[in-house]
């Protein structure tokens, strides 16, 4: 449990900018997809970006269900 | 530590139904717009007909959440005089807050950051943008769902236009969700998850820190609990 908490705190510190960068990648990939830029490197970037966006959505469903299921549970820390 | 009620049970329920429905709508709808990138989703779900069926079931859930929000809170606003809409209505202070926040982030002002009320200008902007997008999804989605019936009232090219508008706003909406996810999950203040929307309440200390204006209103007894 202690290791788990330490890992969470470590992630909390690291996530500050990485979360924003991931959101920026999603935005740029959608812009590139809508503009239909025909470049193999951009195509790979778009595939990665849109799949990350979908992953974001799936993570959100998980978070939503987790929040609903544990709504009566109090945070211990 | 004292807990302060922020969301009513009906608001918690609407968020749960609306959020679940729209997330399923993204998963089943985006592969239609981007088949080359995420065509594996329909393949996993059993093909495009199954994906479209799930999409339509989720759409019904989303419409139900929207109708409930508008009818219940709208009637509450009309007959009781105060509702969720009263709280999220955009005021002059929100525009000033947005400008001051911008100045503060860009370090153009030495003033303290704005003191938010119950809902900050960001929360209000998020709510109204989703509300507007939902209205567009409802109109364009209905045209596409009942395409044969729609052809009686409009030329075929309107259907194609509706399809493009539906897809374009879906992309804009996903970008909004990505921002929302960042704010409620990845923002260091809330990491891993902001539980307030599920429990409906938040600790007084947090209210004092994040929403000082709301805390002051509560202390003065100004802020009545809105349904």
B25 contacts B58 by C-beta, under 8 angstroms = yes
CB proximity B181 to A under 8 Å: yes
Report pLDDT for A77.
Answer: 44
CB proximity B178 to A under 8 Å: yes
pLDDT at B73 over 90: no
* E strand spans, chain B: 3-5, 201-203
* Phi and psi angles of residue B4, each rounded to the nearest 5 degrees, phi first: -115, 135
| Record: contact B179-A71, CB cut-off 8 A | no
How large is the average pLDDT for residues A10-32? 77
Report pLDDT for B55.
Answer: 96
B5: part of which helix (H) or strand (E)?
strand B3-5
The complex's ipTM works out to 0.80
Report pLDDT for B49.
Answer: 94
pLDDT tens, position by position, B95-148:
999 999 888 888 888 778 888 988 999 999 999 998 999 999 999 999 999 999
Mean pLDDT of chain A: 80
**What's the distance, CA B76 to chain centroid?**
20
pTM: 0.86
pLDDT at A75 over 60: no
B202: part of which helix (H) or strand (E)?
strand B201-203
Q: Which tops the pLDDT comparison, A74 or B39? A: B39
Torsion, CA B13, CA A71, CA A63, CA B25, rounded to 10: -20
Report pLDDT for A26.
Answer: 87
**Residues of chain B neighbouring A50 (CB-CB closer than 8 A):** 30, 34, 37-38
CB proximity B89 to A under 8 Å: no
Report the distance separating Cα A30 and Cα A53, nearest Å.
9
Q: How far is B84 from chain A (nearest CA, A)?
A: 21
Q: Among B25-34, B37-46, B86-95, B103-112, whose mean pLDDT is lowest?
A: B103-112
Most B CBs within 10 A among A32, A62, A67, A77, hence the mutation to make, goes to: A67
Please report, for residues A26, B37, B76, the alpha-carbon distance to residue A44 in angstroms, rounded to integers and kept in the order given: 13, 9, 50
| Record: contact B182-A51, CB cut-off 8 A | no
Classify residue A59 by its DSSP letter.
H
């Amino acid at each position: 449990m202690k290791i788990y908490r330490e890992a969470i705190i470590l992630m909390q510190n690291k996530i500050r900018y990485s979360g924003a960068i991931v959101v920026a990648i999603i935005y740029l990939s959608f812009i590139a997809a809508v503009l239909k830029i025909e470049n193999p490197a951009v195509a790979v970037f778009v595939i990665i970006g849109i799949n990350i966006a979908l992953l974001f959505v799936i993570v959100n469903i998980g978070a939503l269900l987790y929040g609903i299921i544990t709504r009566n549970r109090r945070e211990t820390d | 530590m004292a807990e302060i009620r922020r969301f009513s049970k009906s608001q918690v329920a609407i968020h749960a139904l609306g959020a679940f429905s729209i997330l399923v709508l993204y998963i089943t709808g985006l592969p239609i717009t981007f088949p080359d990138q995420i065509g594996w989703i329909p393949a996993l779900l059993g093909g495009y007909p199954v994906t479209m069926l799930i999409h339509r079931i989720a759409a019904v859930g989303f419409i139900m959440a929207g109708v409930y929000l508008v009818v219940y809170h709208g009637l509450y606003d009309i007959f009781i005089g105060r509702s969720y809409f009263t709280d999220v209505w955009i005021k002059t202070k929100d525009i000033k807050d947005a400008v001051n926040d911008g100045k503060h982030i860009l370090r153009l002002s030495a003033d303290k950051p704005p003191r938010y009320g119950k809902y900050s200008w960001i929360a209000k902007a998020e709510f109204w943008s989703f509300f507007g997008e939902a209205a567009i999804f409802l109109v364009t989605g209905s045209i596409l769902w009942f395409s044969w019936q729609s052809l009686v009232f409009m030329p075929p090219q309107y259907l194609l236009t509706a399809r493009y508008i539906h897809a374009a706003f879906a992309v804009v909406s996903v970008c909004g969700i990505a921002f929302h996810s960042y704010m409620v999950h990845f923002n260091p203040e809330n990491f891993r998850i902001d539980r307030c929307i599920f429990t409906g309440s938040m600790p007084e200390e947090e209210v004092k820190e994040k929403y000082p204006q709301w805390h002051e209103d509560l202390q003065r007894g100004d802020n009545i609990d809105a349904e």
